[in-house]
Chain A
């Protein structure tokens, strides 16, 4: 089993704060890195799929960067809002695995206080 690590495990911030989390993954045989947003009692929702070293993706106030050579990705949230409260999952897809077989981290649980 290949390790995908996320840090921190949980994070509490005030509304308006900017925040970021880390996902680390094996740098060999990299194929793609996924970020998902998972609200309580709902299903995980795809944010980004990144495949190229140096990729940067943005969706509203959320952005992500990717470094495949060193095996990490950062997710940034600018000006956090209470509705951003969720668990953020990253998942790694290696070149040797069957298509779509992802290895998930345990997630970073974000709570944004008003």
Chain B
């Protein structure tokens, strides 16, 4: 029961570089989400997707791009990483009873 897997789990990158965080789920849930978690803030929604090829912005989408060509994958790309994007990123999916399942997180540091 793998659930949701994120990769990489830990990443250090330089300002201006493009970074892609991968997310894969094994349940075929329609809805998937990307959140970021920062000290002093709750989980904040970056982007979400209702199905393959359907994505929409959340609260803090600037500087991020997503795609969803297949139901099971939902990668998040930082087009030109900035230090303010240093954070922990969680991918999640929604089960039919509205329970959200989270991946284990990707710790990203931008130097």
Q: Interface residues, chain A, CB within 8 Å of chain B?
A: 1, 4, 32, 34, 36, 42-46, 49, 51, 89, 91, 93, 98-102, 104-107
Contact = CB atoms under 8 A, between A and B. Distances in A.
A46 B101 contact: yes
Contact of B50 (A34, A98, A107): A98
A101 B58 contact: yes
Interface stretch (B12-20, B40-48, B63-71, B74-82): B40-48
Interface residues of B, number: 25
Contact of B42 (A45, A89, A93, A99): A89
Query: Main SS of the interface on chain A?
Result: loop
A98 B31 CA distance: 10
Contact of B94 (A4, A36, A89, A100): A100
Contacts of A104: 35, 42-44
